[in-house]
Amino acid sequence: MGDGFLATFDGPARSIRCALAINEGVEALGLQVRAGLHTGEVEMTDDDLSGIAVNIAARVATMAKPGQVLVSNTVRDLVAGSSIRFHDEGSHSLKGLTENVRLFAAER
């Protein structure tokens, strides 16, 4: 994945809180991280993950600005009722998908 990494979580809210904490933690070092989150089914082969959910997460990450945690509408919908707030970033065309995906920036 080059200079990026892929992590899996047992819940979407935990993934958002982790990404926000990473961004907050690296600020003191003068660094910024771009995070893109999506949830869906993945295929595990040996020590690798694949599938459309992995591809969508990677595409969402490329849309994120430095220091931003960007999530797909799927993730946002799954954490409804949590204390996590979002800013609507609009509908975007992502490579490899026929339908646009609405993206949201998670806020501290």
Coil vs helix vs strand at 57: helix
Distance CA 57, CA 36 (A): 6
Q: Kindly give, in sequence order, each residue whose CB lies less than 8 Å from that of residue 46, ignoring residues fewer than 6 positions away.
A: none
Residue 60: CA atoms inside 13 Å, Cβ hemisphere, count?
30
* Domains, the chain, ordered by start: 12-107 (3.30.70.1230)
**44 Cβ neighbours under 8 A, 6+ residues apart:** none
pLDDT digits (tens, 9 = 90+) for 37-96: 999 989 988 888 888 899 999 999 999 999 999 999 999 999 999 999 999 999 999 988
| Per-residue pLDDT tens over the stretch 28-46 | 999 999 999 999 989 988 8
Give this prediction's pTM: 0.90
If you count them, how many residues does the chain have?
A: 108
